[in-house]
Structure formats: C-alpha cells, structure tokens
Structure 1
Amino acid sequence: MDFFNDHRKLFLTATGLFFFLTFWVAIMPAIRNQNDNLPLPNAAQLTAEELAGKAVYVSHGCVACHTQQVRNIDMDKPFGKRPSVAADYAGNGRTDFWRNTATLMGTGRIGPDLTNIGNRQPSAEWNLLHLYQPRAVVKESVMPAYPFLFQVKQQVETGDVEINVPDEFRPAGPGKIVATKEARQLIAYLQALKQTELENPAVVPAFLYKREIKAADVPAGSTSEPGLDGVALYASNCQSCHQANGEGLKGAFPALKGSPIVLDDNPELLIDVIMNGYDPRPEFAAMPAVGKNSNLSAAEITAIINHERTSWGNKAREVPAAEVQQILDLLKKTASN
C-alpha cells in the first residue's frame, strides 16, 4: 500500500506508462507506415513556386470543394488514370519545423477532383481565366470568382501575364487584366498536380463497378464502339474550352462549329491536334496534348471527333474507328522518326 500513498512513485509510474504507450501505439506504427509507403520512384517534388501556390490553395479554402483522391470506382475514372494509393501522398514533407503539411485529400467533392488536373487541363491560360471568372469557361459552374487575384493595368509590363476575358465579364473601363504573383503561384501548383505512373502496370489498381454495356447504348449505324458516349467524352475532355455549343470563347479558344479542321474530309489534322496539341494561332491560347495527356484510345477519339463533326450544324462524314487507328499509327511512326 505504500506505493499508492507515495505521490512521487505514482507520478513517475504514470509518466513512464504514458511514454511507453505513446512509443508503441503512436510512434512505432507511424515509423512503420512511413517506411512501408515511400514516395513513388517517379514522383516529382513541388518547386518553391508550387509550394507557395499550395499555400494559396489552402488559404482560399479550395480544399472545401475539391478533393485530391481518385477512388477505385468507375465514376472516378475521368479524374485519373488509376485509383489513388497511399504512396501518392508519402512525399508530403513538413511545411516548416512547427507545422505539418496539408495532404489536401478533401472530404467533399462539390467541384471536380484535382489529382490529375495538371494533365487533364495543363493550359495556364484556361486556368487563369477560370480563376478570374469560372462562368466565362463553364457556364454552369458554382465556383466563386477570384478577381482580387488579378490587377487591371493600363500597360502590360515585362513579366506580366495578361488574360483574355470575354467582354461580358470584363470590368468597366479600359485596361488589361493581369495575374498577380499569388494567382500565378496557384496555377503553378494546379499544373503540378499530375498522377505518377506506376512502374509495373500489373500492380495498377482496377476501377470497380463498371457500367454494364448494352447494345441499346449505341445508336443504329453509328461507327463508335458500344459503351462510348461521344457527348460525355467531349464534355470531359474538350467542353471546358470549346464550350457545349462548340462556339469556343472569342479571343481565348477557337470555335469547332464550322471549323475547317473539324469539317475536313481527311480527319488527320483534327486527330493530330487532339493527340499532340496545337499552337499556330497567336490570337488563341495554345491547346494542350489532350489525347496524349489523357491516354485516349482510338475508340474514344473516334467518339469525340464524330460528335464534333456531326453537332452544332456540322455535317461531315462519321469516321470509322479503323481509320482513326491507322492515323494514330501513322502519327506515332512519324513522331518516332
């Protein structure tokens, strides 16, 4: 009983038990978890500018509406090439000595997942315009606008990044809209969000609960494969720039409605643009290599271009998947020479 009457013994025993349990229950599992989930071999570390952009992302509450976790279900497939794994987040280091880093996996998905947004939408011009006024590029967007991350200047100076804003969204009066340093850092961070390729394709997790494909899903006479919806694929890969009506945005993104490239009987240039991007016109922003970045198959490209060639008053012939595959093989061969 003397032990229970001696407060020093009680205090020292309780303190020792506390540290013992902390070590075995918290510290050791954390060390094992850290060793078991190392960063992927090809994972790129964020630069100083991208880390600053991450801080801007956190400070403006972007994590409240956007996740960074691709779940292993079929409905998440548009957000990444594969479901997320623990190693995707293992490279996060401490912000500084006092603060841990933010993982930013998110808890709600009001806006789209951003895990692979650097590949899905690598255009800085599009991202800046979307940040300034989301409804300028996505009419139905519920995202708040961030015009305070931009300045109106009478003259663009060296190092400034000007954005072309449609007239209906421009502030009254003359001037050029220029991105601030914070806006450029935030976009740098978003463009850095790219899902790392796994070295061994055999261990890539599968997307589960795939939609059952039925013959009725494909209209009679269509050249697209069963289960491929050209409208949905266009919406996922092209609509944010070229708009649902195919008319694009004046001064920012060209129209597909009535486009000679889209309507050309030979679809080779159109397919080349989708796969490898396009930047010959100074009046428009450069188009990223959507097909290559999203790893679109011949069947998916067929569905997209046939939607573009037969919508909004366009009346070009539908291109069979076999012809698209031949053109893709030719483009690949030309690129390798």
Structure 2
Amino acid sequence: MEFFDNHKKLFFTAAAFFIGLTLLVAVIPAWQTDRINQPLPGATKLSPAARKGKAIYVANGCIACHTQQVRNLDMDKTWGSRPSVAADYALDRRPDIWHNTATLMGSERTGPDLTNIGNRQPSKDWNLVHLFNPRAVVKESVMPAYPWLFIYRDKPKKTDIVVNVPAAFMDGKPGKYVATKKAMYLLAYLQSLKQVELPDGTVSPAFLYKRAAIKAEEASGGATTDGAALYTANCQSCHQANGEGLPGAFPPLKGSSVVTGDNLELYVGIIMNGYTGREKEGFGPMPNIGTTAGLTPEEVTAIINHERTSWGNSASEVKVEDVKTFMDAAKLSAGQ
C-alpha cells in the first residue's frame, strides 16, 4: 500500500476532497442563491450616509438587543405590515473583501424590532434625543446612552444640528448639544429601514396565532378602535403617557388649543402631514405620522377622541365621517 506511505499523495488527495466538497456543499449553493435572490421592486440601496451609519450600528453592537426580522406571528404586527421574506435581505452585500455580510437579523429583542423603524418613528428630533439618552423619551428604557455621538457647545454654529435635549437632562448647562457626523450617519441608517411593499399579485405570508382584537367602547361616529392603544403605539414616545410632552423637546397635548379646539381640519392635517409651526419655540418638526403609519379614518378618529378626553382635556368627541373628509383634503394638499 504505497499510497498510504506517501505523505504527499495523502495530503493532496485529502486537500482535493476538502476543496471539492467545499465547492459542492457551500460555495456553489451560496453563489446560486445569491444569483437568484433578487430584491423587491421597490427596494433601494443604502445611501452613502446610511452605509456609514450601518457600520456604526454594527460597531456599537446594536444587534445584541434589536432584531430586523418580522416573524409570521400575530404579535409581530407591531413591527411591520407583513412578515419578512428572503428578498428583504437581497441587497445585503459584503462592504469589502475583508468583512462578511452583516444582515443584522438578530436573535433577541431586548429592544424593539427595527425592520420598519424608518416609518414607525421618522422624527429626526426624537431619534437624536433617544440616542443622546433613551431615558429622556422612554423613562423605562434600558438602552445605553450614546453621548459621545454629540458635542456640547455654549453657542452652536449656524451649521450645527441642534438636539432638543429636555431641560431635565441638560444638567443645568446653558448651551446646547449638537449632533456629530456619526450621529447623523446612524440617523440616516435608522431612517432608511422601511419595509417595502410586495409586488402586486404577490400573496403576503400570513400572520399566525391571531390574538383577539382589542376594542374600546363604541365612540360617537362609529369609531370602535382602541384610541389609547393607538396613542401608545404612535404618539406616546414624543408626547408621553401623561400628554405633557417633554419641555424643550416635544410640545404637550394636555391643554393644547389644537387638541381641544374646534379646528378639526388643522388637527387632522397635523396628524397626516406633520407640522412645523412651533420651531420658533424650540420644538422640532412633527413628522407625518398618520401617513407613514397608514392610519385609517377610524384610527385617526380614535386617537383624536382619546387625546380630547384625556389628561383633563374635556372637548367633545369627533365623528369618523368628519375626520375622513379632512383626511381626504390633507392627502390632496400633500399631493398624494
């Protein structure tokens, strides 16, 4: 058995088997999968700023607490309009030859899933305050703060991106915190995370194990959706559970003339198209949360009625048909 006594033949034979099996079992299947796995038609590549932000996201270990995968379980409806599919990750590529692909799907949700965070929380001001100190906007948050992404200035420059940090978190300092380039890169990445709609005719995977729908007592006009739950999901992060907002960052809804007033057209327009009318008071622009969240007239009515009757507000409730009329007008004014 001369073959077994020849170490060269043994080595090269073993190497050939190893290389061959690697090609058959790993390399070729991976190449074929990569070739046929195409992104959804509406998917767009990350901008240069968002790519840099993704690298910062990876470097800071955000994947340890956040997932980017909507499972086909009913409880995951909070994070996206549909379960994730393979095509959602088709644009993930190696950043360079030295680094592996970072899909960032994650395996643990100490914090919320971020698959659709660009739509769920599009506010630049909220995201920057949240990065500076999560407890400033979510009192119970266990997320670490990232103050090194910001610089304190006694007098910000005109070109600085000022962060509306609540007064309680300024430690008595008279100046302002401004966002660094790294903070803006990370913000660009977070705002880019938006779930893409499936092509027409494509059946969306079903959410399984549906829970019983939670309904509030029927409100006037036929709105039966739970306004308190909708407020918690869409509004509370900025305006807070007590409706008092955050001084220096987000305005209060408690006692607000818009909330308790009779100008329903303005009220609905703010929810659907956002608002910039209080920037001179130090409040950042409100995003068009009603549009990005795809709220229905019934849901907007429920939110409005919740806000008009909570925290000491005692305004009369509004009707779905009136809200729908102003929602249609708001869409026209926004050119939708």
TM-score when normalising by structure 1: 0.92
Question: 1:218 corresponds to which letter in structure 2?
Answer: A
Shift of 1:251: 2.3
Matched, 1:239 2:236: yes
Unpaired stretches in structure 1, ≥5 consecutive residues: none
- Superimposed CA distance per residue, residues 118-144 of structure 1 (whole angstroms, 9 cap, x where no aligned partner): 111111111111111111111111111
State the alpha-carbon separation in 2 of the partners of residues 142 and 201 from structure 1: 42
1:218 is matched with which residue? 216
1:27 is matched with which residue? 27
Q: Compared with structure 1, are the counterparts of its residues 183 and 220 closer, same or farther at alpha carbon in structure 2 (3 Å cutoff)?
A: closer
Q: What's the Cα RMSD here?
A: 2.0
1:50 is matched with which residue? 50
Matched, 1:280 2:245: no
* C-alpha contact 2:268 2:330 (8 A) present in aligned 1: no
Shift of 1:109: 0.4
State the alpha-carbon separation in 2 of the partners of residues 246 and 224 from structure 1: 25
State the alpha-carbon separation in 1 of the partners of residues 302 and 74 from structure 2: 19
Q: Compared with structure 1, are the counterparts of its residues 99 and 292 closer, same or farther at alpha carbon in structure 2 (3 Å cutoff)?
A: same
Question: 1:231 corresponds to which letter in structure 2?
Answer: A
2:300 is matched with which residue? 301
1:66 is matched with which residue? 66
- Superimposed CA distance per residue, residues 178-198 of structure 1 (whole angstroms, 9 cap, x where no aligned partner): 112211211111111111222
- Superimposed CA distance per residue, residues 276-309 of structure 1 (whole angstroms, 9 cap, x where no aligned partner): 1111222211111111101111221122111111
Shift of 1:201: 5.3
1:165 is matched with which residue? 165
91-100 vs 192-201, which deviates more? Answer: 192-201
Shift of 1:244: 0.5
Shift of 1:2: 3.6
State the alpha-carbon separation in 2 of the partners of residues 336 and 156 from structure 1: 36
1:190 is matched with which residue? 190
State the alpha-carbon separation in 2 of the partners of residues 174 and 213 from structure 1: 48
Count of residue pairs the alignment pairs up:
334
Question: 2:271 corresponds to which letter in structure 1?
Answer: I
Q: Compared with structure 1, are the counterparts of its residues 223 and 75 closer, same or farther at alpha carbon in structure 2 (3 Å cutoff)?
A: farther
Unpaired stretches in structure 2, ≥5 consecutive residues: none
* C-alpha contact 2:273 2:334 (8 A) present in aligned 1: no
* C-alpha contact 2:272 2:330 (8 A) present in aligned 1: no
1:255 is matched with which residue? 252
Sequence identity percentage = 58
Q: Compared with structure 1, are the counterparts of its residues 332 and 243 closer, same or farther at alpha carbon in structure 2 (3 Å cutoff)?
A: same
Q: Compared with structure 1, are the counterparts of its residues 305 and 201 closer, same or farther at alpha carbon in structure 2 (3 Å cutoff)?
A: farther
| Runs of 4 or more above 6 Å deviation | none
State the alpha-carbon separation in 2 of the partners of residues 213 and 93 from structure 1: 40
154-163 vs 308-317, which deviates more? Answer: 154-163
State the alpha-carbon separation in 2 of the partners of residues 201 and 323 from structure 1: 33
1:150 is matched with which residue? 150
Q: Compared with structure 1, are the counterparts of its residues 219 and 334 closer, same or farther at alpha carbon in structure 2 (3 Å cutoff)?
A: same
Q: Compared with structure 1, are the counterparts of its residues 84 and 60 closer, same or farther at alpha carbon in structure 2 (3 Å cutoff)?
A: same
Q: Compared with structure 1, are the counterparts of its residues 221 and 79 closer, same or farther at alpha carbon in structure 2 (3 Å cutoff)?
A: closer
1:75-224 to 2 correspondences below 5 Å: 75-200=75-200, 202-213=202-213, 217-219=215-217
Question: 1:129 corresponds to which letter in structure 2?
Answer: V
144-153 vs 235-244, which deviates more? Answer: 144-153
Shift of 1:206: 2.4
* 3-state SS of 1:203 partner: coil
TM-score when normalising by structure 2: 0.92
* 3-state SS of 2:103 partner: coil
State the alpha-carbon separation in 2 of the partners of residues 156 and 221 from structure 1: 48
State the alpha-carbon separation in 1 of the partners of residues 213 and 50 from structure 2: 41
Shift of 1:333: 4.5
Question: 1:312 corresponds to which letter in structure 2?
Answer: W
Shift of 1:225: 4.7
